[in-house]
Amino acid sequence: MRTILAAACFVFVATNLGFAQQSPTAPSSDADYMKRAAMAAPPQIFEEATVIRFVNGNMQTLKNGTSQWTCMVAPDNSPMCMDPNAMEWAEAWQKHVPPPDKIGFIYMLAGDTGASNTDPFYTQKTADNHWIQTGSHVMIVGGEVKTMIANYPRSADPDPTKPYVMWPGTPYEHLMIPVK
């Protein structure tokens, strides 16, 4: 099950978080990849996490973990670690279906390279898609978060240094929480 969710998660990451902006510094060796992936979460989370990598469309497990966490580096060089519920949310997003009524958690302590804050499926910055870049952050995702996030800022152009709702009004709205 973890393998299926990890594969779906990577497709989500690669196609939906604005990763058309490829990073020239993306890790090429497995050792460099592991170092980059370790930047996603606190050491005690990463130490027990499974680490996956996609090479030529094939998923490779670089490290089998002993916890619920799965970590990876997106094509734009953004590392992330997700719990199983977040991976299910990511799979739903990738498939354009409603997310499960669960709460998931994602670490992105190295930040991201940006995404549209109005359309979950835009992959490139345009003049009208309210592109936003958030530094070190965590995300609370899933169908069950709607009530919890109702009173957080829902602007299309929020302040990314404060908690805000990303993709407000869509099935994939979630809470972005800057941590530095």
Residue type, 19: F
pLDDT at residue 122, as a whole number: 86
Give, in order, the Cα–Cα distances in Å from 46 to each of 72, 79, 136: 10, 11, 16
Identify the CA nearest to 93 among candidates 127, 120, 59: 120
Q: What is the pLDDT of residue 7?
A: 47
Q: What's the distance, CA 117 to chain centroid? A: 14
Residue 97 confidence (pLDDT): 97
Residue that has been written with the tokens 């805000």 in this structure: 164
Residue ranges for the chain with pLDDT beneath 70: 1-26
Please give the structure tokens belonging to residue 112.
């991201």
What distance in Å separates the CA atoms of residue 127 and residue 44, rounded to the nearest whole number? 41
